[in-house]
Structure 1
Amino acid sequence: MLAVLACASSAFADEACRKVLHLADSYTVCTFDPAIDGIQLYQNDRSGKPYGSFRALERDLMQDRLFIRFAMNGGMYRDDQSPVGLYIENGREQRAINTNKGWGNFHLLPNGVFYILPGHAGIMESKAFIASGIKPFYATQSGPMLVIDGKLHPSFLADSTSFKTRNGVGISADGKVIFAASDGAVRFHDFATLFRDDLGCANALFLDGGISSLDIPEWQRRDGQFPLGPIIAVTQSLPQ
């Protein structure tokens, strides 16, 4: 098994991920093209139990000869690891969209939806997503929005004293999906300006903080310190 994975890592090595320095903070940034890269969402295994970890997802995907090129925790979740907001997998809505006011980052409105259609991905503020009538094949809701049509979320402060590790996703001007995770604790404001100013994303969505986790086989990195809810993964078929 190790030999197969090592071969796969070499075959798919395409430098999708890189380190980016922004405002003196380091970030891991990975870019994929939804037109050619297999970006999907995963929640439950074949038995209906939440995967909870990258390793469990990898074991399941191997049965279909799929290899994880990249994975990241994909949105906020409840104690039972089920999504807090909208979650769609394989065209089936498993959790309805949530636009309620409340406590915590998810309810720091406006929040938003990361969605995937064949050959295309997008990020949209939740109420705008409802109004759009888009029926995606995959979608996950989280919050807050980091960047909304080129503008930072109105609640972010440049001098905030709240520092945490954070991860999120943005859409570049040419339609690429850009995932980013801070390598240390950062402000919301600084994380949002990374997407807007350095990565060129007019829309970007916060996925979570504190539990931010990455699986990058090419880098021999697989975070596993926290149980996970939804997982975003980029996969490819194993070589014959």
Structure 2
Amino acid sequence: MGRVLSAICVAAALAGGGARAADELFTVVRVDVAKQDLRLFWRDDRGQPWRRLDRLADGLKARGRTLTFGMNAGMFHADASPVGLLVIDGQELAPLNLAGGEGNFFLKPNGVFLIGPQGARVVDAVDYPQWRDGVRQATQSGPLLLKGGEIHPALRPNSASRYVRNGVCVLGSQAVFVISRRAVTFHEFAVFFRDELHCRDALYLDGAVSSLYSPALGRNDRWSALGPMFGVVQDVTQP
């Protein structure tokens, strides 16, 4: 499957310009879903939530597999169950949630990241049914940071709400994961996806609990219990 394409993101390099305030704000990990085994995880063989990325890595290692990248994959309840849709290896474990409510997840439009017959994509949750045939992996979260290149109208530049945040967009065959290196506003986060990564559709995954596992980057975040998780897996014998 090859290695995960991991890099500390320097906005100036992406834009071909000089130093910017965004240069040291974000870490970007690019996963080519056409060549790499990107999956979702939730519970172990005993039906218990993994809860931490390093525990997932240890569990995979016991099976002769290596976790080369991991990240929290959407919002969850106190018992680690997903708030919205979760599909793992083609099996729907939690249904699409189009209900109203309080909190970021319910800030419509929210969205779904999926991997299906046509590769990876981020879609509005209300449009998911037209993509569900053949979906192998899917997770729902919210809000959509970007839809069609437009920032979610509720994300204000002058917001006082700042957290470490993570999210995902899709560029060609690449799922592009981003985690902030310090607390940022929703609007700052969305602008980075739009202006530096040039994404059209981007999905917010979570804040405060945002976690990254990447041996290549020396990251093994263990400060929060998690629900569903993304992981890139390869055989121990693979380079």
Same fold, TM exceeding 0.5? Answer: yes
* Post-superposition offset of 1:17: 2.3
- Judged with a 3 Å threshold, the aligned counterparts in structure 2 of structure 1 residues 191 and 220 are, in CA distance, closer, same or farther, namely same
Secondary structure at the aligned position of 1:44 is classed as: coil
Q: Which amino acid aligns with 2:21?
A: A
- Judged with a 3 Å threshold, the aligned counterparts in structure 2 of structure 1 residues 114 and 13 are, in CA distance, closer, same or farther, namely closer
Match of 1:70 in 2: 69
Q: Which amino acid aligns with 1:109?
A: K
- Identity, % of aligned pairs? 37
Superimposed CA distance per residue, residues 48-73 of structure 1 (whole angstroms, 9 cap, x where no aligned partner): 10000112111221133211111100
Match of 2:21 in 1: 24
Distance 2:3 2:87 in 1: 29
Q: Which amino acid aligns with 1:238?
A: V
Please report the TM-score for the alignment, with normalisation by the length of structure 1: 0.90
Distance 1:46 1:133 in 2: 26
Runs of 4+ in 1 over 6 A off after TM superposition: none
Match of 1:186 in 2: 184
Please report the TM-score for the alignment, with normalisation by the length of structure 2: 0.90
Which of 211, 217, 220 aligns to 1:219? It is 217
* Post-superposition offset of 1:143: 0.2
Match of 1:210 in 2: 208
- Count of residue pairs the alignment pairs up: 228
Distance 1:90 1:13 in 2: 21
Which stretches in structure 1 are left out of the alignment for 5+ residues?
Answer: 1-11
- Judged with a 3 Å threshold, the aligned counterparts in structure 2 of structure 1 residues 135 and 219 are, in CA distance, closer, same or farther, namely same
Q: Answer yes or no: is the 8 Å Cα contact 2:65–2:234 preserved in 1.
A: yes
Q: Which amino acid aligns with 1:160?
A: S
Q: State how 1:1-240 maps to structure 2 within 5 Å.
A: 15-21=5-11, 24-25=21-22, 26-117=25-116, 120-172=119-171, 174-239=172-237
Which stretches in structure 2 are left out of the alignment for 5+ residues?
Answer: 13-19
Distance 1:101 1:27 in 2: 31
Question: How large is the RMSD of aligned CA atoms in angstroms?
Answer: 1.7
